[in-house]
Amino acid sequence: MDEYFHSVRLISDRCKGCVSCTKRCPTEAIRIRGGKAQIIESRCIDCGECIRRCPTHAKTAVTDQLADLAEYAYNVALPAPALYAQFSAEIGIDAILVGLLNLGFDEVFEVAQAAELVSLAINDYMARGQASRPVISSACPAVVRLIQVKFPELIDHLLPINAPVEVAARLVRQKCSKQLNLKPEQIGIWFITPCPAKMTVIKQANDLKSSISGAIGISKIYGDLLKAIPTECPNPRLHKSTWQGIGWAVAGGETSTINELNTLVVYGIHSVSTALEQVVMGKLTGLDYIEALACAGGCIGGALNVEDRFVAEHRMKQRKRTMETVQEAGELDSVGDYSEVLLSGERPPVEPKPVLRLDDDIMKAMSKVEEIESTLKRLPGFDCGLCGSPSCYTLAQDIAQGMASETDCIFKLREKVRDLAQTMIELANKLPPSLDKESS
Ligand code: SF4
Ligand code: SF4
């Protein structure tokens, strides 16, 4: 089985084994064993749901840090549009970008600008009418991974266009190599990310190489950035994106730029999973496009943000109003020269990772299915999670896979202890009277 890099990790000392995370993981990737959570790496999609749910903050996401900039001669920050929502709307986007320069980046390139390009490319692609519908947005890496792991039959529906951050990285890398006469490996390109899943995509050795050098969590640099933002910003405009691109930070922002009538916006990893199930079952007919985002409310709900998502959404609305008043003009109005970084040949192929499969050998898999069904009949069906598996069904699966035993279920354990106690009493009653006297 492939090795997986994961951004989401357990801080073991803090884990109390409370099972909050096991019950909420969308791919049933967490078990409690020996009183501590364990992530089954091949199942984890780095959605960050367990980070949000853990009451003791025992889950965290590993990202890069500002010190890593020292490895490169020239560093470019790619701020996610969600970064702008972490600051009050009185702080202009230009000031935030200057703040990033003050932190040590040599240049900034807004991911929102690339999102505008991707919107144009999506409209081109949809107008060709050749796609398997509904087309599912590939912008959210946790959703792409969910499809790989849980819904491999939907891979053909994924939009074959690079996500905005990847487009931004490719454009800026090309531009810097040409203009600054630098080798690509001398240029560090850093996504300022609201999302652990992006870190995983960048570092995942088994996927085709990303143009992004690393990802720095918004929460990791927020304090320093706040101090680095100037109170006045006389700089020429660094900020070049329009609401069309910035709006991608909020659920619905992407589809608002698409000319298709039948679109569905779904967010929150469990709702996304339910919607994809409905697509597989053929119940969502007549849809052209699905914008699916793992985090509640979209990227503004990402686990690496610092601001509450409702506050963030409110701030984005305030920014939108200001931008409409100011009529800020985008610079990108056609896919034109950018098609090579946008279209399918450039995007890593998405391979299925059907880790929920019981066995590669069909006969063994069928016998495990039978074992699961018969074990399930003996389990109580409460789905309490006290065994450390998220449900009775997953415990039955774990038993069939040799990862657990029936007595991990406390009800089965109690039954077994009671039976043993009964047997002991019966055996004690059978002891010969002479032995009784000797022992007294
Ligand atoms: S939510 Fe999960 S990681 Fe957090 S304390 Fe409970 S079992 Fe441990
Ligand atoms: S990050 Fe998501 S998929 Fe991975 S263990 Fe946590 S909840 Fe499960």
| Burial (CB count <10 Å: 0-12, 13-18, 19+), residue 337 | exposed
C-alpha 335 to ligand 2 mean position (Å): 36
Residues in the chain: 440
Considering the entire predicted model, what is its pTM?
Answer: 0.85
Ligand 1 centre distance from Cα of residue 371 (Å): 30
pLDDT surpasses 60 at 339: no
pLDDT digits (tens, 9 = 90+) for 139-192: 999 999 999 989 999 999 999 888 999 899 988 988 888 889 888 889 999 999
User: Residue 370 above 60 pLDDT?
Assistant: yes
**Does residue 375 carry a pLDDT above 60?**
yes
User: Which pLDDT belongs to residue 411?
Assistant: 92
> Which residues neighbour 241 within 8 Å (Cβ) at sequence distance 6 or greater?
81, 110, 112, 113, 115, 116, 330
Q: Is it the case that residue 227 has pLDDT exceeding 70?
A: yes
pLDDT-above-70 percentage for the chain: 89
What value does the mean pLDDT of the chain take? 87
Span 387-432, pLDDT tens digits: 999 999 999 999 998 989 999 999 999 989 999 999 998 888 887 7
Q: What is the pLDDT of residue 232?
A: 83
Query: Of 11, 13, 19, 49, which is best to mutate to test ligand 1, by the most ligand atoms within 8 angstroms of its C-beta?
Result: 19
400 Cβ inside 6 Å of ligand 1: no
Specify the residue with its C-alpha closest to ligand 2, atom 4: 44
Q: Average pLDDT, stretch 122-138?
A: 89
First-residue to last-residue Cα distance in the chain: 61
Q: Which ligand is nearest to the CA of 18?
A: 1
Percent of the chain with pLDDT over 90: 61
Assess whether pLDDT exceeds 90 at residue 78.
Answer: yes
Which of 9, 11, 18 for a ligand 1 pocket mutation test, highest count of atoms within 8 Å of Cβ?
Answer: 18
The predicted-structure confidence for 18-48, as pLDDT tens digits, reads as follows 999 998 999 999 999 989 999 998 889 999 9
